[in-house]
Amino acid sequence: MNNNNNCKKETFAAAVCGLLVLFILLLTATETLCFRIPGWWRSEYTKYNTPQYVRGEMSMDDAVYVTEQMLEYCIGRLDSLDNVNATIDGKTAPFFTQREKLHLADCRTLFLGAVKARVIALVLLAVLLAAIYYSIRKKRQKAESMISFPHVLARGYLYALGAVIVIALIIAALSVHDFTLVFTEFHHIFFDNDLWILYPDQDNLINIMQEPVFADAALTIACMWAAAAAVLAIVSILVLRRTHHAYRNI
């Protein structure tokens, strides 16, 4: 009995599950960096002495404050940025320019869309897992295949991870070679206007959210995602090894 041929559909569905899991992990890693690592932004701004690049004298506390308020707005916990103030050169005033607020409104749409996408991915994942489980159970009852549910999931996940790793390595290589290019293309993909193009002599947002900070954020997210993906890969390999002997004897 050729179990591989008998479970092609289930393996493909399991690979889709793997992609959904990896997508969910990526969004969760991004959320973790933005909202759940105490002091991360302060550490980054200290590392690059961010306040020195602002047009005028600004404290580290204010730089961190406006960043945290910006993120709260993007995730939907703050209705407006109109009352987010900062003290620059001893004068307290609204920090964000009109152009910055328009761009951050686009970012808010992107953030909230990602939240919805994660919910949809979780629902699809649950549906696919149930479908795979009952399909394999049915085939085992009819003796059409003896491959187990964990075996199919593990194999599908590793297929998905392999595909994603290839894509991730390409993006990583491009980022190392020219992060500005990757950064620019990211904005071209996710934004349909040029509001993301800010000017250091007019917009202080770009002076605190500089390219090195974005690069570090991307690297941190990638590391968290990779760690979680690696744990699941190890579990998948152990499952396959455990079932390999029984599978060969079928």
**Partners of 85 in beta bridges:** 94
Can you list the alpha helix ranges (DSSP code H) found in 36-86? 40-47, 60-74
- Evaluate whether 159 touches 15 at the Cβ level (below 8 Å): yes
Lowest mean pLDDT of 17-26, 134-143, 155-164, name the range: 134-143
Question: Of 13-22, 72-81, 173-182, which gets the smallest average pLDDT?
Answer: 173-182
Sorted by sequence, the CB contacts under 8 Å of residue 99 that are 6+ apart come out as: 195, 198, 202, 203
Chain segment 76-92, per-residue pLDDT in tens: 999 999 999 999 999 99
Which residue type occupies 232?
L
Share of the chain above pLDDT 90, in %: 74
**Cα gap 12→160, rounded to integer Å:** 9
Considering the chain, what is the average pLDDT of its residues? Answer: 91
* Average pLDDT score over residue span 117-122: 98
- Give how far the C-alpha of residue 153 lies from the chain's centroid of Cα atoms, to the nearest Å: 22
Q: How far is CA 77 from the centre of its chain?
A: 20
The least confident of 27-31, 121-125, 138-142, 209-213 is 138-142
Given a cut of 80, whether residue 244 has pLDDT beyond it is no
C-alpha neighbours within 13 Å on the C-beta side of residue 176: 5
* β strands within the chain, DSSP E: 85-88, 91-94
Query: pLDDT confidence of 6, banded at 50, 70, 90?
Result: low
Confidence of residue 183 (pLDDT cuts 50, 70, 90): confident
